[in-house]
C-alpha cells in the first residue's frame, strides 16, 4: 500500500469566513469612541491580533492536513508474533523473501500489510483514528480556544455598550454631548472669552478667592456678574465668525439646557454604568488568569511527532504508527505569541482595575473648569454622570469643559437673556404700554423667563410691573429710564446691580411687592430713601411678622403710604418707627385677628387708616387718639355694636367713615356728633332702622346704606343738601319720602331691589341726576318728569326694558341722545 496524503484541499472549505465577519462582536457606534479610554482602544487592537491568530489557526485546521501517519518499524523480538501472524495469514498468497542482515539488525523482517485496492481510504482512516486518539486535545483545539477566548474578550469589552440598561444612557449622553460640543451657543461663548486679554485673565485668577464675597454688596446688590472665561488657545474662535445667535439657534440651545438638566437628574440616580464597567473588567482579569494558567501548562503538549497505537491490524496489517502533526511547529509558535498578547492584555486590564478603584470615579469635580473659566456655579456631579465624564476626560478633556457650559445657571441665564432680547423688541414692548390706576404709563410683563434688556430703551416708561418672573436681574441700564417712578414685583425673585440700586434710591416713589415666599422680599427695598409708597402682599408667619422682616423700615425716611396685606397678629414695631412721617396705613389681614393696637397711638400724623378683615369686634380705642385722621375704613370685620362711635367727635378732621361689610344691627344716635363726616359707608350690614339723628350730619355728600334690612327712610333726609350719592339698594323700603327730592345736588340715586311701587314725579327736581337705578322694584310706570333730569341718559338709567318703554317717546329719545 503506497502512503498518500489524506484530506487534501477540500473544495467546500476554500472560501473561509473573513475576519471582518467578527466585527459584530465588538462593533459599536462611531460616536461611542469618546467613551473608550486608551486602554480600551489598546485592548481592542490586541483582541484583533488574537482574533487573527485564532482565525489563521482555524483556517489551517480546515485547509491543511491535520496529521500524517506511517506504520512504525519495530524489532523482530518486539514484533515477531505479529509478523508471524501476518505471514501465516498471507502465506497462501505471498511467500516471504529471506531476511537480509544489517549492521544494527542482522536480521530484519520486511513490513507488509494486507493487499487491498483501498490504499487512500486506509491511510485516511488511520490519520483520522490517530488524530482523534493519539493527539493531545490542546494541540487539536488550540485555534478554536484562541478564537473563543478572543470573542469573549471582545464581548466583555463592549458589553456595556450593548446592555439595554446602560446603552440607552450612553446613547443619550453621547447625543447631548455632541450637541453641546457643536452648539452655536458654545461657539459664541468661547468667542467672547477669547476676546479677553491676558491681563484681565490674570486679574480674574487673582480675584477668584474674593469673588464669592463681592457678588453682593451689603445691601444685597449684585456687584460682579459672572461670565464665560478662558479656554486653550488652540480652540479659540475668531470673533468675526461668531455673530449673534438667531432665534432658532437660541431656542435650540435653550432646549439643550433643559435636556442636560433632565438627563443629569436621571443619570445621577444610579451607578449601573460604573458597576457594569467594573464587572466586565473583573471578568476579563479572571479570564486572563485562567488562560495564562492552563496555556502555560499545556503549550508543551503541542509536539511535531506523535506515536499512535491503534488496534486495526486486521484491517491494515499494522498496529503501531508514527504520526507527524503537520502544524505542530506553527501552533507552538502561535501559542507563545498568543500568550504574550494575553499577558499584555491582562496587565492592561489590571491597570484598568487599579484606575477604577484607586480614583473616586463616582464623583466628578469641575474645580479646574471653574478656575479656568470663572464660572463658579458649575455643580459637581456624581454616580454614572460622573463616571462618564471621567471616561470622556481620558479621550479629550475639552469635551468636559464645553459640556460644563450647559451645567451653569449663569450661562443659561445669559442665553435666556439673549433669547428674550430677540423676542421682545422695543416696538413690541411699546405695544403693551398702558395707563395704570396711578395715571402712570405702565409696562406689564407677565410670566417671562427674565427681564428683557430692551425694556430699558423705552425711556418714556413711568411704571414697570413684573409678575411671576423668576431670577430677575435689574442692570445698571435702568438709569436710562429717567421717568421711572413706580415698580411692581409680583412673585418675582430679584437681584439688582449696585448702580441700578443707586438710581432707584433717588428716583423710585412707589414699590409694590407681592410674594409667596419670604425669600422673594427684596432686601434692597429698605434702602430706598426717597420711597413714598410701599405695598406688601404676602403671607408672613406670626414669628417673622413681629420685628424681623420689617425691622429696617425705619430707614424709609420719605415713606408716606404703607399697605400690608398679610396675616400679621400685631402691628410690627418697624411700622411705628416710621410713624412720624407715615400718612396712610392699610392692613388687610385675611381674617387673622389683629390684637395689641396700642401702637396706633404713636402714629399722630396718620390721615388714613384701613383695618380690613382683621376680625375686630369693637372699634379700637387707639383710633380715637389719631387727631389728624381724615378717613377710617373698618371693612370686613366682626363689628356688631358701634357705641364707641361717640369718641369720634374728637376727630375733628374725620370726613370718611367706612363701616361696611360687618354685622352692625343699629346706628347709635351719637353719630349726630360727627358733624364733619362727608362720606359714610354702612352697606352690607344688618341695619333695620335709620335714626333721624343720622341726618344731622349735614355735610354728608356720600351715603351708602345698601344691602341692609331697612324698611323706612326718615323724612329728615331732606336736610342733607350736600348729598350727591345715595344708595339703598337691596333693602326692604316700600316708599321714598318726598323730602329726598329736596337734595338738589344728588347725582347718583340707587333704589333698586326694594319693594317700591311708585316713583314720585318730584324726581324731576333732581336736575343734576346722572345715574338712577330702579331695577328690581314693583313699578308699573315711570314718571314723565324724568325728562326734566337733563343729565340722565339711557346708559345711566338702570331699569327693565319694558318699564323704560312706559316713558313718553320724546323722553326716551332725549335719553338716548348723547
Compute the average pLDDT of residues 308-332.
Answer: 75
Q: How confident is the model at residue 133 (pLDDT cuts 50, 70, 90)?
A: confident
pLDDT digits 0-9 by tens, 25-40 = 445 566 678 888 888 8
Compute the average pLDDT of residues 608-617.
Answer: 93
Q: Give the pLDDT score at 372.
A: 75
Pick from 649, 249, 616, 191: which is nearest to 415 by CA?
Answer: 249
Residues 67, 325: contact at Cβ < 8 Å? yes
Cα separation, 128 vs 437, whole angstroms:
107
Compute the average pLDDT of residues 788-815.
Answer: 92
- Cell numbers placing 312: 486495526
Cα separation, 120 vs 666, whole angstroms:
135
> Measured in whole angstroms, how far is the alpha carbon of residue 362 from the centre of its chain?
22
Beta-strand pair 748-750/725-727: parallel
Cα separation, 421 vs 711, whole angstroms:
63
Pick from 738, 731, 770, 767: which is nearest to 752 by CA?
Answer: 731
Per-residue burial over 273-304, b = 16 or more CB atoms within 10 Å of its CB, e = otherwise: bbebbbebbebbbebbeebeeebeebbeebee
Per-residue burial over 472-501, b = 16 or more CB atoms within 10 Å of its CB, e = otherwise: bbbbeebbebeebbbbbbbbbbbbbbbebb
Which of 119-128, 667-676, 792-801 is predicted with the least confidence, judged by mean pLDDT? 119-128
Cα separation, 328 vs 67, whole angstroms:
9
Residues written for the chain: 818
Residue found under cell 480674574 = 204
Cα separation, 526 vs 505, whole angstroms:
10
Residue 213 scores a pLDDT above 60: no
Residue found under cell 414695631 = 573
H helices present in 299-378, as ranges = 313-316, 328-358, 367-373
Residue 600 scores a pLDDT above 80: yes
Which of 109-118, 686-695, 722-731 is predicted with the least confidence, judged by mean pLDDT? 109-118
Q: What letter would DSSP give residue 222?
A: B
Compute the average pLDDT of residues 143-153.
Answer: 87
Cα separation, 12 vs 21, whole angstroms:
19
Q: How confident is the model at residue 610 (pLDDT cuts 50, 70, 90)?
A: very high
Count of CB atoms within 10 A of residue 319's CB?
A: 17
Three-state SS for 405? helix
Residue 590 CB contacts under 8 Å (≥ 6 apart), including other chains: 565, 566, 567, 613
> Measured in whole angstroms, how far is the alpha carbon of residue 791 from the centre of its chain?
61
Residue 604 scores a pLDDT above 60: yes
Q: Give the pLDDT score at 760.
A: 93
Cα separation, 403 vs 400, whole angstroms:
5
Q: Is the C-alpha dihedral spanning 403, 409, 414, 418 positive or negative?
A: positive
**Annotation: CATH topology of 639-817:** 3.80.10
Pick from 689, 682, 694: which is nearest to 729 by CA?
Answer: 682
Range of 109-123, 234-248, 294-308 with top mean pLDDT: 294-308
Percent of the chain beyond pLDDT 70?
A: 80
Q: Give the pLDDT score at 222.
A: 42
Q: How confident is the model at residue 210 (pLDDT cuts 50, 70, 90)?
A: very low
Cα separation, 283 vs 290, whole angstroms:
11
pLDDT top residue among 13 and 769: 769
Listing DSSP states for 305-326 in one string gives EEEEE---HHHHS--EEEEEET
pLDDT digits 0-9 by tens, 666-704 = 999 889 889 899 999 999 999 999 999 999 999 999 999
pLDDT digits 0-9 by tens, 460-480 = 999 999 998 887 889 999 999
Residue 762 scores a pLDDT above 90: yes
Per-residue burial over 368-401, b = 16 or more CB atoms within 10 Å of its CB, e = otherwise: ebbebbbbeebeebbbbbbbbbbbbebbeeebbb
Residues 377, 409: contact at Cβ < 8 Å? yes
Cα separation, 610 vs 626, whole angstroms:
13
CA angle centred on 13, ends 7 and 19, rounded to 5°: 130
Compute the average pLDDT of residues 82-91.
Answer: 39
Compute the average pLDDT of residues 247-265.
Answer: 79
Pick from 239, 257, 321: which is nearest to 70 by CA?
Answer: 321
Q: Give the pLDDT score at 656.
A: 95
pLDDT digits 0-9 by tens, 159-192 = 888 888 787 888 888 888 887 877 777 767 656 5
- Strands (E) located in 438-560: 441-446, 463-467, 472-474, 486-490, 494-496, 510-515, 533-538
Pick from 315, 6, 2, 307: which is nearest to 130 by CA?
Answer: 307
Q: How confident is the model at residue 734 (pLDDT cuts 50, 70, 90)?
A: very high
Give CA separation, 140 vs 10, 150, 172, 303, 310, in Å: 19, 18, 46, 11, 18
Residues 765, 792: contact at Cβ < 8 Å? no
Domain residue limits, the chain: 639-817
Compute the average pLDDT of residues 378-400.
Answer: 85
pLDDT digits 0-9 by tens, 52-63 = 888 888 887 777
- Cell numbers placing 135: 493527539
Q: How confident is the model at residue 67 (pLDDT cuts 50, 70, 90)?
A: confident
The H-or-E segment that residue 257 falls in is helix 247-267
Q: Give the pLDDT score at 263.
A: 81
Q: Give the pLDDT score at 563.
A: 92
Cα separation, 362 vs 356, whole angstroms:
10
Amino acid at each position: 500500500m503506497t502512503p498518500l496524503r489524506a484530506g487534501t484541499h477540500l473544495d467546500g472549505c476554500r472560501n473561509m469566513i473573513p475576519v471582518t465577519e467578527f466585527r459584530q462582536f465588538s462593533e459599536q457606534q462611531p460616536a461611542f469612541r469618546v467613551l473608550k479610554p486608551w486602554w480600551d482602544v489598546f485592548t481592542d487592537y490586541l483582541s484583533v491580533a488574537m482574533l487573527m491568530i485564532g482565525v489563521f489557526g482555524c483556517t489551517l485546521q480546515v485547509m491543511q492536513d491535520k496529521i500524517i501517519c506511517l506504520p512504525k518499524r519495530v524489532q523482530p523480538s518486539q514484533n515477531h508474533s505479529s509478523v508471524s501472524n501476518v505471514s501465516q495469514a498471507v502465506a497462501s498468497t505471498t511467500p516471504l523473501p529471506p531476511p537480509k542482515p544489517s549492521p544494527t539488525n542482522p536480521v530484519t523482517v520486511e513490513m507488509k500489510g494486507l493487499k487491498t485496492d483501498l490504499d487512500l481510504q486506509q491511510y485516511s482512516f488511520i490519520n483520522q483514528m490517530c488524530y482523534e486518539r493519539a493527539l493531545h486535545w490542546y494541540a487539536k483545539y488550540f485555534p478554536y480556544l484562541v478564537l473563543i477566548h478572543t470573542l469573549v474578550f471582545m464581548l466583555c469589552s463592549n458589553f456595556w455598550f450593548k446592555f439595554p440598561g446602560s446603552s440607552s444612557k450612553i446613547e443619550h449622553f453621547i447625543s447631548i454631548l455632541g450637541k453641546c460640543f457643536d452648539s452655536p451657543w458654545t461657539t459664541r461663548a468661547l468667542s467672547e472669552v477669547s476676546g479677553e486679554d491676558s491681563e484681565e485673565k490674570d486679574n480674574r485668577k487673582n480675584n477668584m478667592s474674593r469673588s464669592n464675597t463681592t457678588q453682593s454688596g451689603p445691601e444685597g446688590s449684585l456687584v460682579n456678574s459672572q461670565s464665560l472665561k478662558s479656554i486653550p488657545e488652540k480652540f479659540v474662535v475668531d470673533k468675526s465668525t461668531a455673530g449673534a445667535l438667531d432665534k432658532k439657534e437660541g431656542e435650540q440651545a435653550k432646549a439643550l439646557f433643559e435636556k442636560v438638566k433632565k438627563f443629569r437628574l436621571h443619570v445621577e440616580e444610579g451607578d449601573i454604568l460604573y458597576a457594569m464597567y467594573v464587572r466586565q473588567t473583573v471578568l476579563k482579569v479572571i479570564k486572563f488568569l485562567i488562560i495564562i494558567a492552563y496555556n502555560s501548562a499545556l503549550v508543551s503538549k503541542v509536539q511535531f511527532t506523535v506515536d499512535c497505537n491503534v488496534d486495526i491490524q486486521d484491517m491494515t496489517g499494522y498496529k503501531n504508527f508514527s504520526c507527524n502533526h503537520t502544524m505542530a511547529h506553527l501552533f507552538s509558535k502561535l501559542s507563545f505569541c498568543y500568550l504574550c498578547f494575553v499577558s499584555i492584555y491582562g496587565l492592561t486590564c489590571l491597570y484598568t482595575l487599579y484606575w477604577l478603584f484607586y480614583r473616586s470615579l463616582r464623583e466628578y469635580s469641575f474645580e479646574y473648569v471653574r478656575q479656568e473659566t470663572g464660572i463658579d456655579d458649575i455643580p459637581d456631579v456624581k454616580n454614572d454622570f460622573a463616571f462618564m465624564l471621567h471616561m470622556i476626560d481620558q479621550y479629550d478633556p475639552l469635551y468636559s469643559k464645553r459640556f460644563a457650559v450647559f451645567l451653569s445657571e449663569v450661562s443659561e441665564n445669559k442665553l435666556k437673556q439673549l433669547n428674550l432680547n430677540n423676542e421682545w423688541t422695543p416696538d413690541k414692548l411699546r405695544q403693551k404700554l398702558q395707563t395704570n390706576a396711578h395715571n402712570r404709563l405702565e409696562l406689564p410683563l407677565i410670566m417671562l423667563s427674565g427681564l428683557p434688556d430692551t425694556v430699558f430703551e423705552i425711556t418714556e416708561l413711568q411704571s414697570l410691573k413684573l409678575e411671576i418672573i423668576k431670577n430677575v436681574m435689574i442692570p445698571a441700564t435702568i438709569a436710562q429710564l429717567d421717568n421711572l417712578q413706580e415698580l411692581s414685583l409680583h412673585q418675582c425673585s430679584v437681584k439688582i446691580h449696585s448702580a441700578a440700586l443707586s438710581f432707584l434710591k433717588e428716583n423710585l416713589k412707589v414699590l409694590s411687592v407681592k410674594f409667596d415666599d419670604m425669600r422673594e422680599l427684596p432686601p434692597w427695598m429698605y434702602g430706598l430713601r426717597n420711597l413714598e409708597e410701599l405695598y406688601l402682599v404676602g403671607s408672613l408667619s406670626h414669628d417673622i411678622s413681629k420685628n424681623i422682616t420689617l425691622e429696617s423700615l425705619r430707614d424709609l425716611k420719605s415713606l408716606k403710604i404703607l399697605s400690608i396685606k398679610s396675616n400679621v397678629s400685631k402691628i410690627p414695631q418697624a411700622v411705628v418707627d416710621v410713624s412720624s412721617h407715615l400718612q396712610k396705613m392699610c392692613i388687610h389681614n385675611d381674617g387673622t385677628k389683629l390684637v395689641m393696637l396700642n401702637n396706633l397711638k404713636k402714629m399722630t400724623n396718620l390721615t388714613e387708616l384701613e383695618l380690613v378683615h382683621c376680625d375686630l369686634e369693637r372699634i379700637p380705642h387707639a383710633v380715637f387718639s389719631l387727631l389728624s385722621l381724615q378717613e377710617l375704613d373698618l371693612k370686613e370685620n366682626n363689628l356688631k355694636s358701634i357705641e364707641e362711635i361717640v369718641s369720634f367727635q374728637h376727630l375733628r378732621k374725620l370726613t370718611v367713615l367706612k363701616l361696611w361689610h360687618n354685622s352692625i344691627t343699629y346706628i347709635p344716635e351719637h353719630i349726630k356728633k360727627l358733624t364733619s363726616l362727608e362720606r359714610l359707608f354702612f352697606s352690607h350690614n344688618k341695619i333695620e332702622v335709620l335714626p333721624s339723628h343720622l341726618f344731622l350730619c349735614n355735610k354728608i355728600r356720600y351715603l351708602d346704606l345698601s344691602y341692609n334690612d331697612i324698611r323706612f327712610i326718615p323724612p329728615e333726609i331732606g336736610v342733607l343738601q350736600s348729598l350727591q350719592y345715595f344708595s339703598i339698594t337691596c333693602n326692604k323700603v316700600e316708599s321714598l319720602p318726598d323730602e329726598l327730592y329736596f337734595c338738589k345736588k344728588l347725582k347718583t340715586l340707587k333704589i333698586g331691589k326694594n319693594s317700591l311701587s311708585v316713583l314720585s314725579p318730584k324726581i324731576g327736581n333732581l336736575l343734576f341726576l346722572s345715574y338712577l337705578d330702579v331695577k328690581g322694584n314693583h313699578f308699573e310706570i315711570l314718571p314723565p318728569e324724568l325728562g326734566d333730569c337733563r343729565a340722565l341718559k339711557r346708559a345711566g338709567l338702570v331699569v327693565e326694558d319694558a318699564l323704560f318703554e312706559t316713558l313718553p317717546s320724546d323722553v326716551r329719545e332725549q335719553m338716548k341722545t348723547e
